[in-house]
Structure 1
Amino acid sequence: MRYLPTSKLTPGMALGQDIYDGAGRLLLAKHLLLSEEYISNLEFLGFPGIYIDDEFTQGIEIQQVLNPQVRSQALKVVHDMFAFDVASDAEEDMPVSEIKIQKTIERIVENILSNGDIMCNVLDIKNYDDYIYYHSINVAMMSVLLGANYGMNEESLYQLTTAAILHDIGKRFLDIGIINADHALTEEETQLLRKHPELGADYLKGNYHFSALVYAGVMQHHENYDGTGYPLGKSGEHIPLYARIIRLVEQYDDMVSLHRGRENLSPSDAMEYLMAGSGSLFDPKLVELFVEKIAVYPVGCEVELSNGMHGVVAKNFERFFLRPVVKVVETGEMLNLRDDPDTRSIIITKMVIH
């Protein structure tokens, strides 16, 4: 299995993973043979790339952090959280029940923990129009990985994941033109956008009975470690732990996600940004732990090598993410950049994502 930008897809390629929309509905099923129409629809919907199965990458398997069924159910819950009409009294427009949210959180945490010591080793398949739904799930998923690596117990992980999956719920009260803007925001639009943490925390307090730690995580997820964030300007460990985790994780997911009018960064470039912001924007201890769980060259991605050849990442090693096993396109050879002495002079120069 390998990841290909949508621009490089050709008819007859076999889909490597199910593709869902932002409401958790199946759009295209795994093993489907792509046609011109399917490829055009993927481009129209704003999917930057997908996974395909082919003979060259046979045997390269990607371990999902989150089971596709659990992910689909969680997407639907998040979609419904954003979609209901606040002003309506109709039953179908009522807020998602607290029990449904809690069960979704439990499934996410238990599913990820059941996978053992897993790393985030996959490029997410999402389109930019439904970005906020995918983003909420990804932030929740990576928060579990980081929280578990931090040493949190299961109850704390439930609370962290609740705050993470709902961290942007305040954006449902803002104009969609601000949320999905394809231009630089004006000062007025920026100030409106900056209200979403408080709007979200106030909404949750008025409609649910979550822990105060959850509300604080939502309220303060844009605080910076050096005190330059908002809305309260807190710094260091005065910022609640859940908020510090969400601040880091949501920044990473935002940078690797495609937006209207802005290309996404590769995981390696995004990780460099996080490391550069360690101690200023982000809690340095959390950055260190996060780096251990995110593969900068995910399995299945195409890379360019310093010897002029191209390859597909076949395997990653925890804490040695810059030195994966790569299957060379030109020769079919497997290069173990970590263990093979003959590959010591070879480095990955670029990841192909566009």
Structure 2
Amino acid sequence: MIRLAASHAQAGMELALPIVDAFGNAVYSEGTELTAEHIGKLPLYGVREIFIADPLLDDVPVEPLVPPELEAKAALALRTVYEEAGFSNSLEPAVIEQAVQPGYEMAKPLFPRVLGEVNSAPISPVTEYDYLMPARTASLAAMLAARVGLDMDTTGQICVGALLMDIGTAKIAAGSAEHEQQKHPVLSYVLLKDMPFISAITSATVLQHHERLDGSGFPQGLKGDDISMGARIVGVAESYYSLISARPGHEPWSRQDAMEYIMAFGGDLFDSKVVEAFVRSVPAYPTGILVRLNTGETGYVVDAGIGQIGRPTLRMVSDKDGFKIKEMFEISLTDEKHRHRVVEDAVEYG
């Protein structure tokens, strides 16, 4: 199947996977032939990418790491938590438990081994950022936790921490100064600390997720080993999605620039072991997209080459002059003979 940005959808395309909105509601089913009306509604549903049936890539599976429906379930639960947190000084345990369960469920698909591709797309729509960001962060945090060798239960506790890390923002007035915004980890911790089902690992993850190894983070300015592993993991995952997503006051970075930033500060701001896991987890160019090389050639990504930043395996479709290749072939940009080829941009995906 071919993956492309929803903005490049065309009438007549057939969906290879169903489309659901940010909260898991079914929008269009698999096999739907898109019309102009369908396409016009995609931005309203916060749909950033779609999967199109095409014989060219029938043999290339695109499996999500965490089912979109599970991320949506977590986001819906968080919406309720935020609403309740904004109205009262305490939260009913039953309200929090709605968000705890999806956190543990996110860990299950990664054991006994990691299968599937993490969703590396920006958060959309912006209006739902507060709920969708923690849910997406929890998915990536699960991948990173599994990659660094943590067990399923510990991974689940960290996922719960990622989901609940920002609920304290509901108690901070919109437009508050930055130093007020930086109080949210403590406010989140206070709302959770007396819940019997919130573990010490989850609590530490919530309180410390903005701490950085060099002591430049907040709220306590912790350094090095004083920061819990859960917080180090969530710190990397949250930073990635924060960088690539548009929101008021922030222009989004490209995925590649965000990855380069995290790699550059491995060992300084971010835990080196977690950064290594991040590089082995997040595709710079996801499976199924069309890319253009510096040579002018184009090809579809059939293997994202995770761990080899920007060096995927491609099924070539056009030559340097833009002519369609009659007999397609595949090249791996990790092969020495193809090292001169570099991905310049993603076509129909930016």
Same fold by TM-score greater than 0.5: yes
SS in 1 for 2:10: coil
Query: Root-mean-square deviation (CA), in Å?
Result: 2.8
Alpha carbons of structure 1 residues 322 and 22: separation in structure 2 relative to 1, 3 Å: closer
Q: Is the 8 A contact 1:13 1:54 kept in 2?
A: no
Q: Deviations over 1:305-345 (max 9, x none)?
A: 12102222111344334332212332262322257665343
Percent identity of the aligned residues? 28
For residues 184-195 of structure 1, what are the structure 2 equivalents within 5 Å? 188-195=176-183
Alpha carbons of structure 1 residues 12 and 259: separation in structure 2 relative to 1, 3 Å: farther
Unpaired runs of at least 5, structure 1: 179-187
Q: Report which stretch shifted further, 25-34 or 141-150.
A: 25-34
SS in 2 for 1:15: coil
Give the structure 2 partner of residue 9 of structure 1: 9
Structure 1 residue 74 displacement after superposition: 2.7
Q: In structure 2, what residue type is equivalent to 1:336?
A: I
Q: Is the 8 A contact 1:80 1:96 kept in 2?
A: no
Q: Is the 8 A contact 2:17 2:29 kept in 1?
A: yes
CA distance in 2, matches of 1:291, 1:46: 27
For residues 1-354 of structure 1, what are the structure 2 equivalents within 5 Å? 1-84=1-84, 87=87, 96-97=94-95, 99-113=97-111, 116-118=113-115, 120-124=117-121, 126-175=124-173, 177-178=174-175, 188-207=176-195, 209-259=197-247, 262-330=250-318, 331=325, 333-338=328-333, 342-352=337-347, 353-354=349-350
Alpha carbons of structure 1 residues 10 and 118: separation in structure 2 relative to 1, 3 Å: same
Structure 1 residue 267 displacement after superposition: 2.6
Structure 1 residue 197 displacement after superposition: 1.0
SS in 2 for 1:304: strand
TM-score relative to the length of structure 2:
0.85
Unpaired runs of at least 5, structure 2: 319-324
Give the structure 2 partner of residue 185 of structure 1: none
CA distance in 2, matches of 1:51, 1:262: 28
Alpha carbons of structure 1 residues 192 and 301: separation in structure 2 relative to 1, 3 Å: farther
CA distance in 1, matches of 2:281, 2:275: 10
Alpha carbons of structure 1 residues 48 and 98: separation in structure 2 relative to 1, 3 Å: closer
Structure 1 residue 119 displacement after superposition: 5.7
Q: Is the 8 A contact 1:227 1:235 kept in 2?
A: yes
Q: Is the 8 A contact 1:244 1:282 kept in 2?
A: yes
Alpha carbons of structure 1 residues 67 and 220: separation in structure 2 relative to 1, 3 Å: same
Alpha carbons of structure 1 residues 269 and 128: separation in structure 2 relative to 1, 3 Å: same
Aligned pair count reads 340
Q: In structure 2, what residue type is equivalent to 1:160?
A: I
Alpha carbons of structure 1 residues 83 and 130: separation in structure 2 relative to 1, 3 Å: same
SS in 2 for 1:222: coil
SS in 1 for 2:193: helix
Q: In structure 1, what residue type is equivalent to 2:340?
A: S
Q: Is the 8 A contact 1:167 1:218 kept in 2?
A: yes
Structure 1 residue 159 displacement after superposition: 1.5
Give the structure 1 partner of residue 321 of structure 2: none
Alpha carbons of structure 1 residues 191 and 261: separation in structure 2 relative to 1, 3 Å: closer
Structure 1 residue 55 displacement after superposition: 3.8
